[in-house]
Structure 1
Amino acid sequence: MVSYFTIDATGENTNFQKEISNMMHGFGDNPNPNAATVVLVEDIVLQQLRSMLQEASNYSILRGSTEISNHDIIFLMRKNPVKLRRLYNYQLKMDLIDATRPHVANPPTALLTKIGLEDDKDRIKKKRTHTDVISEIDEADEVSLVKFDAIDYLRKVRAAKITESMSFEKYEAYHKARCSSFRSGYGLNRGFVKLEQWINPTGELQITQLALEVLCFLAYETVAELVDAVFLIRQDSKKKSGDPFSKFEGGYFCNPQSLNNAVYIKSGYEGVPAITVAEVREVLRRYFTPTTGINGLFYRNMSNDLPVRYIAL
């Protein structure tokens, strides 16, 4: 059985621990996340992305291509119309941001070499094609029928609740955490250089920039799903025997009904306990446990029935 708790990172110096720490805080974790938890989440995300790349590589070979494109990555998402819709909206927002950046629309020639200027112009001309790929895959128009994203809504409600009593300084720090991502940056150095070095350190796979952008989105969603799942586990732990409404007493930002009473203990957010390694491991245990039934966990061929699963999908 594949282990999702450790990873062989021999020869790799690139890491996203700082970014993941900020993301976890942005999704509702303590402002000082547990360092061991951050390392575990990083390992999980890396395992997930490399599994996606391996499967996407097989699809690219079937297409007769030597490089992995965004089409191959998005094809992995074909069974989740909600995530496809979220990616669709993500592209529209990124296109709008790029269009409003003055240094992207009119790059300063004084700061660019001739080659750099030509590369930046090519990048401007090259439009994202995620929406085209999604439209091609979505033959039944399921993506267009998704009008409301409940999970995304709950995340926004949680963030709004967290920031209710924040001072300006704390809100500014929280806003920066919310802006964290797996992108390398913006401006002349924008792109996914760091992400590519992280998931493809040997350069064995040829990955397009558009594919890296989709992987960046999925990596971000993986962190978000893990944090969401931890809050659900905490919600379950608050259940009391004989009291079906005990889990809605608040405190962990899981449900709109519990958000009415969910407040942090100190200064708006310091009182939330940091997510622990044990909680993340419990998330994985529940996610990768085979379907229970007449055989359950005692099924002899259990390991053969475990397909590759992606938390973000």
Structure 2
Amino acid sequence: MQLRMAAEDSVSLLSEISDIMRSFGDSDKPRLESVKLVEHILQQQLRGMFNEASLVAMRRKNNPCPSQADFEFLMRNHPVKIARMRKHLKDMRILKKFLSIRTGRQDFMEDLDQQDSDDELAIEVPELFDEERTRRLFRADRISQILSGQQYLEFNEARKTSFYCRHGEKIKNKFRRFLDLPADLRIPTTTMNILAYFAHETIAVIVDYAILTRLNSANRITEPFSRVTSTGASPAMLHICPEVTQGRGSEVVKPISVQEIHEGIRRFRQMTNKKVGFYRSTCDTDFKRSFLAL
């Protein structure tokens, strides 16, 4: 009976995760085993990020609930990621105003423009070159050039997939249940929107590392004319994003495998936890749990 109740309470985001993986460079039909692994990693990452932000927020006596400033504190060593998140939230506020003019107030965007943390976010982040975002946009552009009309429509719908504005209140409640947070814990809508953004970024990073792992593996597909482009892309752009020219063209792209995801996560953790010199200990006070989106 308990197992049956647990199965009923469990929430799966396999469909949404599969669409997001496809939008970032996976095949048209991602492997089910890979999607389940990404779902498991995503749940662990989001819970860990929320707990870390909660520990930072508990240092404040007036408002112990995690806010945007707490997540930015965790990202303090990555100004490019902070600027990317701020730009995303700014675009969401613009979208809210636009939709409110056309169709009225949008429930899924409520409280997004709250001003309670303006004093904490008064420091401007300088606009820097975002190499990761450029790589993803260029990859999506290259993929879209080899698709048929119907495939492009499906790819476009996959790129619209979101955990907070697609299907409105339904997907928001589903995402909250997926995080499996305490029911008595009151989380502002702004914090849930930030967690949804981090979910999107986490899947993107997993796909990025899986593709780069494939480039270094033995099953790398290299076509003689794979680097020939008629869109005016410079060789510098191809050097920035070499994976878009590998294994595409007329052949079908292989879906990302579980082994490639495991290897990509291993490389990420080895890179983020690496110390200067030969000494490295997990008992060190500076040792932090690494998060893909932070």
Distance in structure 2 (CA, Å) of the matches to 1:222 and 1:124: 24
Residue equivalent to 2:133: 152
Residue 69 of structure 2 contacts residue 117 of structure 2 at CA under 8 Å; is this kept in 1? Answer: no
CA pair 68-132 structure 1, distance change in 2 beyond 3 A: same
SS in 2 for 1:192: helix
The equivalent position to 1:258 in structure 2, one of 234, 242, 253, is: 242
The equivalent position to 2:274 in structure 1, one of 287, 291, 298, is: 291
Deviation at 1:279, TM superposition (A): 0.6
Residue 231 of structure 1 contacts residue 254 of structure 1 at CA under 8 Å; is this kept in 2? Answer: no
Cα RMSD of the aligned pairs, angstroms, is 3.6
Matches within 5 A, 1:39-188: 39-64=36-61, 65-102=63-100, 106=104, 127-129=113-115, 132=118, 135-136=121-122, 138=123, 141=124, 143-146=125-128, 148-183=129-164, 185=166
> Does 1:38 find its partner at 2:20?
no
Deviation at 1:250, TM superposition (A): 6.1
CA pair 161-131 structure 1, distance change in 2 beyond 3 A: farther
Distance in structure 2 (CA, Å) of the matches to 1:102 and 1:15: 31
CA pair 281-129 structure 1, distance change in 2 beyond 3 A: farther
Residue equivalent to 2:233: none
SS in 2 for 1:135: coil
The equivalent position to 2:212 in structure 1, one of 219, 228, 232, is: 232
The equivalent position to 1:22 in structure 2, one of 12, 19, 22, is: 19
The equivalent position to 1:221 in structure 2, one of 196, 201, 206, is: 201
CA pair 222-145 structure 1, distance change in 2 beyond 3 A: same
Task: Report the AA paired with residue 268 of structure 2.
Answer: Y
CA pair 294-86 structure 1, distance change in 2 beyond 3 A: closer
Distance in structure 2 (CA, Å) of the matches to 1:131 and 1:152: 27
CA pair 177-128 structure 1, distance change in 2 beyond 3 A: farther
- Please, which runs of 5 or more residues in structure 2 have no aligned partner? 1-5, 229-236
Residue equivalent to 2:255: 274
CA pair 133-105 structure 1, distance change in 2 beyond 3 A: farther
Task: Report the AA paired with residue 209 of structure 1.
Answer: T
Deviation at 1:164, TM superposition (A): 0.6
Distance in structure 1 (CA, Å) of the matches to 2:275 and 2:111: 51
Task: Report the AA paired with residue 71 of structure 1.
Answer: A
Residue equivalent to 1:114: none
* Paired residue total: 273
CA pair 25-130 structure 1, distance change in 2 beyond 3 A: farther
CA pair 53-284 structure 1, distance change in 2 beyond 3 A: same
Distance in structure 2 (CA, Å) of the matches to 1:126 and 1:152: 23
CA pair 68-200 structure 1, distance change in 2 beyond 3 A: farther
Residue equivalent to 2:282: 303
Residue 184 of structure 1 contacts residue 194 of structure 1 at CA under 8 Å; is this kept in 2? Answer: no
Task: Report the AA paired with residue 78 of structure 2.
Answer: N
Residue 112 of structure 2 contacts residue 190 of structure 2 at CA under 8 Å; is this kept in 1? Answer: no
CA pair 230-125 structure 1, distance change in 2 beyond 3 A: closer
Residue 146 of structure 2 contacts residue 249 of structure 2 at CA under 8 Å; is this kept in 1? Answer: no
- Please, which runs of 5 or more residues in structure 1 have no aligned partner? 1-9, 108-118, 241-245
Residue equivalent to 1:13: 10
Task: Report the AA paired with residue 84 of structure 1.
Answer: I
Distance in structure 2 (CA, Å) of the matches to 1:131 and 1:31: 41
Distance in structure 1 (CA, Å) of the matches to 2:142 and 2:88: 23
Task: Report the AA paired with residue 22 of structure 2.
Answer: H
Residue 70 of structure 1 contacts residue 208 of structure 1 at CA under 8 Å; is this kept in 2? Answer: no
CA pair 68-259 structure 1, distance change in 2 beyond 3 A: closer
Deviation at 1:205, TM superposition (A): 3.3
SS in 1 for 2:58: helix
Question: Normalized against structure 2, the TM-score is what?
Answer: 0.79
Distance in structure 2 (CA, Å) of the matches to 1:96 and 1:185: 17
